[in-house]
Amino acid sequence: MAKTLFSKRLSKELRDLNTNPLEGVYIDEADDFTRWRLRIVGAPGTIYENEEFKLEFRFTPSYPLESPEVLFIRPYVPVYSNGHICLNILYKDWSPVQTVAQVCLSIQSMLSSCTKKELPPDNDLYIRSAHASPKKTAWAFQIRMNQW
């Protein structure tokens, strides 16, 4: 039976992650092509330095044409308390050339830019109205400009 595009792609990505591991990214479970669990570690010199976060990647047969659904797994969730991640590359700026490794690096970068360990100000409102899937949220992405 011929392998589908998404299973070929995920096989390659898993092989790459195992062969050339990223600093601070660890595979906990990747037994099939529907769900992977990874751990990322906060980067040195940041408020999350050496803290571990668990992520769940959920794939559909449309991957890589469609982004994976990515959630932080409890108990420690540094973003919305339901694990949803407001990161543009997971939604409107997804490109099929992106990989699980690149998503992990983007999440590490997002965490590295945090200056306070706190939930987003609209967490309670969002949790009350959010769908189970973060992909059903109409995210409003903001561009932060550094002030020199």
* Domains present along the chain, CATH in parentheses: 5-136 (3.10.110.10)
Q: What is the pLDDT of residues 31-64, one digit of tens each?
A: 999 999 999 999 999 999 999 999 999 999 999 9
Single out the catalytic residue among 5, 14, 73, 86: 86
Integer distance in angstroms from the first to the last C-alpha of the chain? 58
Q: How many CA atoms lie within 13 A of 146 on its CB side?
A: 2
DSSP string, 98-145: --HHHHHHHHHHHHHT-SS----TTHHHHHHH--SSGGGS-----PPP
Query: Which residues, including other chains, have CB under 8 Å from residue 66's CB and lie 6 or more apart?
Result: 60, 94
Report the distance separating Cα 123 and Cα 40, nearest Å.
22
Q: What is the pLDDT of residues 89-138, one digit of tens each?
A: 999 999 999 999 999 999 999 999 999 999 999 999 999 988 889 988 88
Report the distance separating Cα 148 and Cα 144, nearest Å.
13
Could you tell me the strand order of the sheet in which 52-58 lies?
25-29, 35-41, 52-58, 69-73
Query: Which residues, including other chains, have CB under 8 Å from residue 103's CB and lie 6 or more apart?
Result: 57, 68, 70, 89, 90
pTM: 0.89
Catalytic-residue membership of 114: no
Q: What pLDDT is stored for residue 28 in this prediction?
A: 97
- β-bridge mates for residue 42, sequence order: 49
